[in-house]
């Protein structure tokens, strides 16, 4: 005689965890949005092609951002030579190069999504522009060149996107640990004209062989619209060398401060990016990042009259302030469960940062005068 299962009640189960349901839905959407490796032959979140692209982007990130973020060394040099000493526009050059790179993000991202098959063409157009340019031209070349690469990275890195962006963001810190000291030595020996030409030749030789490695994941279709949200943060490293000089420190110590900040930035951006992939609250990470960065700016830098507090500021701001940008990829998932929304939201974050970056140049110049 068959057993009547209805006579024995089933054990009760707790109510499902809303967070677990949200995570499961997100993982299901990721699975259905991005083709699996059996279809495309290109796995996500790992594999030879994913790492090859990420490491190539790492090199470009380190060189492209390392140079404009080290412009404080040029700025300090220009204030010492008769040709530019009294110019009110010196501080605007560096902020324009990086600021335009930020401001153009929300405008180029929709174009990339609509014409993604032309991303390689965009790379080939933008690459020579940022090599031969400075200021406005550098920023325009960067926009055309770099954001197509980020869209390719988004295709390969999904669940580990926080780690991937943390690694990319730390790349500028890697070059920043070396670039300021190298530029300061070259400027002292050869002057700004020869140094700038040497930098252009160096960028051409180092980045050229990597261009063929910049390829997106096969079989991707990006037709969905994205919501756009964002905010911004300004990175004050541009003015550290000038400030160090104003309190009587040598030019080499000003360059050293940038190098220390860059080393700390490497650790901070990778740490915050990695933690954002875990179960750590992104809101808590954001609060820690911006709070400590603000306190360090008001205290260690604002009251600094010697090298020691400036070193403390460089280390604290490098770690906590720069760690903020590494979490942008995970902030996107907090705003929207749409996996591909990262590109548009990332662009809006950059736009807000660009506003502060562009405005800081003329405002600071006016305050200093």
Kindly indicate whether the domain formed by 44-214+235-368 is annotated with CATH number 1.20.1250.20.
yes
295-346 tens-digit pLDDT = 988 888 878 888 988 999 989 998 998 888 778 777 776 776 665 566 667 6
Helix axes 342-368, 328-335, angle to 10 degrees: 120
Q: In terms of pTM, does the model score above 0.75?
A: no
DSSP of 59-97 = HHHHHHHHHHHTHHHHHHHHTTSTTTTT-TTHHHHHHHH
Give me 238's structure tokens: 């541009």
- Alpha helix (H) ranges present in the chain? 18-33, 37-40, 48-69, 71-78, 90-103, 105-114, 119-132, 136-156, 161-176, 179-207, 240-246, 251-277, 282-296, 307-316, 322-323, 328-335, 342-368
Tell me what the pLDDT averaged over the chain comes to. Answer: 77
| C-alpha–C-alpha distance, residues 307 and 25, integer Å | 52
Q: What is the pLDDT along the chain (369 residues), one digit of tens a residue?
A: 444 444 444 444 444 444 443 444 444 344 434 444 444 557 788 888 899 999 999 999 888 877 777 788 888 888 888 888 777 777 777 777 777 877 887 788 888 888 888 899 999 999 998 888 877 888 899 889 988 998 898 888 888 887 888 888 788 778 877 888 888 899 989 988 999 999 899 989 999 999 999 988 876 655 444 433 433 344 566 677 778 888 888 878 888 888 888 888 888 888 888 888 877 888 899 899 989 988 988 888 878 888 988 999 989 998 998 888 778 777 776 776 665 566 667 677 777 777 776 776 667 666 666
First to last CA, the chain: 97
Query: Can you give the residue ranges of every domain in the chain?
Result: 44-214+235-368
190-200 tens-digit pLDDT = 988 999 999 89
């Amino acid at each position: 005689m068959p057993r009547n299962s209805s006579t024995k009640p089933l054990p009760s189960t707790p109510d499902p965890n809303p967070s677990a349901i949200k995570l499961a839905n997100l993982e299901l959407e990721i699975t259905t949005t991005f083709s699996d490796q059996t279809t495309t032959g290109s796995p996500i979140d790992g594999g030879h092609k994913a790492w090859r692209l990420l490491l190539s982007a790492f090199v470009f990130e380190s060189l492209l951002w390392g140079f404009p973020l080290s412009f404080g060394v040029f700025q300090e040099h220009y204030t010492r030579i008769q040709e530019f000493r009294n110019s009110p526009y010196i501080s605007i050059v560096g902020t324009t190069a990086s600021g335009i790179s930020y401001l153009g993000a929300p405008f180029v991202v929709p174009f990339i999504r609509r014409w993604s098959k032309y991303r390689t063409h965009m790379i080939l157009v933008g690459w020579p522009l940022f090599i031969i340019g400075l200021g406005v031209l550098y920023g325009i070349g960067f926009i055309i060149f770099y954001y197509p690469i980020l869209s390719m990275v988004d295709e390969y890195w999904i669940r580990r996107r926080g780690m991937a962006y943390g690694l990319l963001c730390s790349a500028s810190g890697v070059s920043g640990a070396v670039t300021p000291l190298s530029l300061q030595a070259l400027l002292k020996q050869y002057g700004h004209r020869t140094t700038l030409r040497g930098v252009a030749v160096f960028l051409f030789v180092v980045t050229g062989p990597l261009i063929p490695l910049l390829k997106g994941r096969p079989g991707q279709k990006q037709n969905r619209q994205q919501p756009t949200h964002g905010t911004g943060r300004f990175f004050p490293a541009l003015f550290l060398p000038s400030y160090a000089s104003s309190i009587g420190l040598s030019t080499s110590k000003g360059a050293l401060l940038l190098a220390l900040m860059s080393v700390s930035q490497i650790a901070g951006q990778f740490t915050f990016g990695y933690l954002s992939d875990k179960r750590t609250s992104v809101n808590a990470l954001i609060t820690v990042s911006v709070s400590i960065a603000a306190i360090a700016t008001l205290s260690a830098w604002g009251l600094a009259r010697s090298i020691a507090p400036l070193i403390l500021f460089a280390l604290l701001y490098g770690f906590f302030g720069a760690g903020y940008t590494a979490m942008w990829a995970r902030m996107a998932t907090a705003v929207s469960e749409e996996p591909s929304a990262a590109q548009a939201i990332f662009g809006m974050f950059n736009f807000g940062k660009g506003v502060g970056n562009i405005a800081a140049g003329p405002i600071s110049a006016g305050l200093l005068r």
